[in-house]
Amino acid sequence: MKSKRETFVDKLLGGMTLAEKVGQCFTLSWRGSMITPSAVDVITKLNAGGLRIEPYTTESATALYYGRRLAEKGFDLPEEYRHIAQTYFKAKHPGTYTPPDEYARRLNRLKEIAMNRRSGIPLHITLDYEGDFSHDYAFGGMNLFPSHMGLAACGDDDLVYRAAKAVARQLHAIGVTMMHSPICDVNVNPDNPEIGTRSFSDDAKTCARLVVRQLEGIRDGGLVAVAKHYPGRGNSSTDAHDGLPVIGDDGKTMRERDLLPYRALIAAGLGGVMTAHTNYPKLDPAGVPATLSRIIVHDILRGELGFTGVITSDAMGMGAIVNTWGVPRACVLALKAGCDLVLVKNDEEVRAQSVCEVTRAVQSGEIAEADLDASVRRILLMKYDQGLFKNGGMVDADKAPGIIAQPAMRSVCRAAAEGCLILMRDDARLLPLSPDRKVLVIEQMVPAEFTPNDIHCNSHLFNEAMTAQSMNVINATTEFSATEQEQALMLEVAKEADVVVATNFYWRILPRNNTELIRRLVAAGKKVVVVANAPYASSCPREAPTVLCTFSGVPNSLRAAAEFLYGGRAARGIWPIRAQKPWDGAA
């Protein structure tokens, strides 16, 4: 006998049109915070199942994705898809500052639009919030946390749970329903350009234990957790945003190491999995990324691991996909492979092309309608279990700021930042700094698109934290990777200082940092302290004699770093990597 939820979903599914079913299989982007005609059309004309929100930037049909336009030239778009509105704001421009209560109101409005569709099916709202520089909504004093590896370095499994719950609660308060975390990748390659500290560790058992605690926190905070990047990207040497990585590990190794976190999460009731745009020739010799592999998605994840939840692709505009297949065709192949949702984070015509291409594939029989129905059913069950059919997932917007500012939320955020500090080395015995010594503080500036630039979070917070410890400082910033002119200026200004304290954060979307500047300062005979956000060579130049690892560049991490440098707190983090020590290997 069917349960109440199954009866509800099956009745709804039975009355859906093909267009409504196909639309449910798409998570499409909403950038910025303005409800444009384009944003409305995505919901009403393309029947989007959900939105991936990116309020930090602007919607723009002219945006390039990894250097290219993704719309297919010469694509035969039927009449019903030709009139999807486009927005032509300047691409890569910072999004309008929108505080939590107002942003929640605007999400409520979009949810209301969705509920007024013929189908009455609510939206799922998702984003990335991985820690460190990954926080898609950062306005209004949101509590920003260290990376996964930073949480592991705290050495407190319960803190991992409390941090995940705090993140989920504040996101739920603004109207988010789903989170693309936890990250299950076991980062066994210290030179991995894409994962690094996004992983908890290079140890599979540690990762498996901590992703379960994170799942529990996310779920108890009111969100669906989507684990990624299945079946594992920890041994990659290529960024999938640029091209198709190949991981040649054998099936036994993958199953014992990379799949271990997924087994643990599935046993704990995981709701969603995101696939990797990576080729695993020992799992599937076809040479396609996991997202497009029926062996990896259907046979292994569904069959071998027994996962019954929702499977989503990673963003389909990444180089690993578009370099060979293009977005519309790849969406078809992903659904054929066994994905339920495809993530299309583009503001141009490629959205309509992708929905159209999938519709044609169903009409032609390339995608069996029974398979489409099974995917939509899983998506609807997920939404039912979250209670989204009751009111579309709308929230009390007025309460959002208060939830975010709760003392308990602030406390766990500080505890995470303060608990993961690790002094990797101090060969020159420069620490603690004395207020009597003149210190040149060099802080990397995060591009304006990715910082709210408010009193809570901006590109001068480390300088501000250092001046709170001592006024005997010279304040300076550079681009994330200092220009030649900036390097020359810093070398000149450094002559006035006894010690230089410089951030050298690594961020996968801006892989060049201030390593060259630090090397030049050391070569010039300056005493240099490096504040790093990763325990790898990408952030910790070998030449630097003193290195503090914060595992993030978020506000509380910067304050904790400044306090430690002047002797105001201890660095009590626990080393989270098994294959190397702070003073050897890549560090």
Q: Where are the beta strands (DSSP E) in 256-384?
A: 272-275, 310-315, 341-344
User: How many Å apart are CA 453 and CA 139, to the nearest integer?
Assistant: 9
Q: For residue 217, what pLDDT is reported?
A: 98
From 241, 249, 258, 347, active-site residue: 241
Place of tokens 């190491």: 257
- How is residue 171 written in tokens? 């996101």
Q: What b/e string do you get for 363-381 counting C-beta neighbours within 10 Å, with b at 16 or more?
A: eeeebeeeebeebbbbbbb
In this structure, the dihedral spanned by the alpha carbons of residues 379, 326, 71 and 312, taken in order and rounded to 10 degrees, is: 20
Domains of the chain are: 4-243+254-402 (3.20.20.300), 421-565 (3.40.50.1700)
| 3-state percent breakdown (helix, strand, coil) of the chain, nearest 5 | 40, 15, 45
pLDDT-flagged residues of the chain (< 70) = 65-68, 583-587
Rounded to the nearest 10 degrees, the angle between the axes of helix 204-220 and helix 260-267 is: 30
- Which of 101, 239, 314, 347 is labelled catalytic? 314
Q: 411: Cβ–Cβ under 8 A, 6 or more apart, which residues?
A: none
- pLDDT confidence of residue 587: 38
Pairing of strands 341-344, 528-532: unpaired
With beta carbons less than 8 A apart as the criterion, state whether 44 and 117 touch. Answer: yes
The verdict on whether 241 is a catalytic residue reads yes
pLDDT at position 19: 97
Measured CA to CA in angstroms, residue 342 lies from 35, 328, 333, 362, 392 at distances of: 23, 10, 10, 15, 21
What pLDDT score was predicted for residue 583?
A: 61
What is residue 72's predicted lDDT score, i.e. its pLDDT? 81
User: Is there a catalytic annotation at residue 314?
Assistant: yes
Pick the closest to residue 340 from 45, 28, 122, 24 (CA basis): 24
Q: Around Cβ 572, how many Cβ atoms within 10 Å?
A: 15
